Amino acid sequence: MKKIKLFDPIITAKEEQAVIKTLKSKFWASGSGSGNVLEFEKKFNKYTEAKRTISVNSGTAALHLALSLVNVKNKEVILPSLSFVSTANAIIYNGGIPKFVDVDPTTLCLDPLKVSKAINKNTKVILPVHFGGLPAKLDEFVKLCKKNNLKLIEDAAHAVGSTFKNKKIGSHGFAVCFSFHPVKNLAMPTGGAITLNEKDVKKYEELLKSRRWCGITNRKGVKYDVNELGWNYYMNEFSAAIGIEQLKKLDKLNKKRKNIAKRYFEEIKLSGKMPLNQDSSYHLYWIRVPKRDSFMQKMNENNIETGIHYLPIHKMKLFNSKQKLPITEKICSEIVSIPIHPNLSESDISRIINSVNKYA
């Protein structure tokens, strides 16, 4: 029986040609952000309708640098524990304090009511994750940020192409962080981006461009200065070349994901499953299965790959938080991701649905 992979990027001759063209050009990388990288940034900025886009070499780097724009040293940053560990690591890189808040059990995104109760004088940032591609309640977070003088920084690693109130994710928060890891809806070998939406973006744009390239500023020909510490976080030309091609088909591929989600939502006979929402890019499709280990083993025996996104960050040794997050903890003991990528055929989808209904 054919193996159905959990993730599977879509590549065509276009990506192959773009890679070969870049290879032959011998211009493979530059911290200056020219070439394919600049072209990708411009196109992504147009796509998201953000004020600015600054590309980097991972979603983790995007989160690190976005948080560096706000001084979070010894300040609290509100985030969900149900995320990839980078969301929390980026706060620590900046000397901040992760303040984990529970999620809404239907969307698995941060619960705004719980967030409002967690805000105190030491809070600086609200950092929601658009879980699985389903947008968090940004209007409520914008209100909370205005009322309490906080910044909204979004982890949109799952949400490239998602929308909220008819606007693309990337055009709402102060800074929005994307990942273009190979399993993501827009896949690169490695890559990420930060979109900015503040009125006065110029200052932040300059800071990010310098921080992604070792702190280099004021370049004049071959001369430059360094005002502050930066990192080697710039995107390479191969990633950008692939990204330009991936961006062209993103909406089409996301539409396929939405159609698969519709079948899952209608045909999977479980009460705990990802809701149907046209705003979601469906990076993941999650179900809740109380007997998770035996279910995953059965799926594996039937050549259907599944995954766990995620184990709770607040329980990891590094964070070892005493915070109690009952909804997150329960969900993390049951959650399973099933394949939802545009390479799935109708018969693959039927096989997945039948197996879930049989074994969950």
Interface positions with ligand PLP (CB under 6 A): 58-60, 83-84, 86-87, 129, 155, 157-158, 179, 181, 192
Question: Which is nearer to ligand PLP, 258 or 283 (by Cβ)?
Answer: 283
Question: Which is nearer to ligand PLP, 331 or 360 (by Cβ)?
Answer: 331
Q: Which residue is nearest to ligand PLP (CB)?
A: 59
Q: How far is the CB of 155 from ligand PLP (least distance, A)?
A: 5
Q: Is residue 110 within 8 Å of residue 101, measured between CB atoms?
A: yes
Question: Which is nearer to ligand PLP, 111 or 155 (by Cβ)?
Answer: 155
H/E stretch holding 97 reads strand 97-101
Q: How far is the CB of 167 from ligand PLP (least distance, A)?
A: 20
CA distances from 276 to 240, 257, 262, 353 (A): 32, 11, 7, 16
Question: Which is nearer to ligand PLP, 244 or 284 (by Cβ)?
Answer: 284
Distance separating alpha carbons of residues 82 and 220, to the nearest angstrom:
45
At position 70, the amino acid (one-letter code) is V
- In the block, which residue shows the tokens 């998201």? 48
Which of 93, 73, 54, 59 lies closest to 201 in space, CA to CA?
54
CA distances from 102 to 2, 162, 218, 278, 311 (A): 39, 22, 44, 24, 14
Q: How far is the CB of 134 from ligand PLP (least distance, A)?
A: 12
CA distances from 100 to 61, 72, 147 (A): 21, 15, 20
Q: How far is the CB of 187 from ligand PLP (least distance, A)?
A: 11
Q: How far is the CB of 115 from ligand PLP (least distance, A)?
A: 17
Question: Which is nearer to ligand PLP, 86 or 197 (by Cβ)?
Answer: 86
Q: How far is the CB of 220 from ligand PLP (least distance, A)?
A: 33
Question: Which is nearer to ligand PLP, 107 or 179 (by Cβ)?
Answer: 179
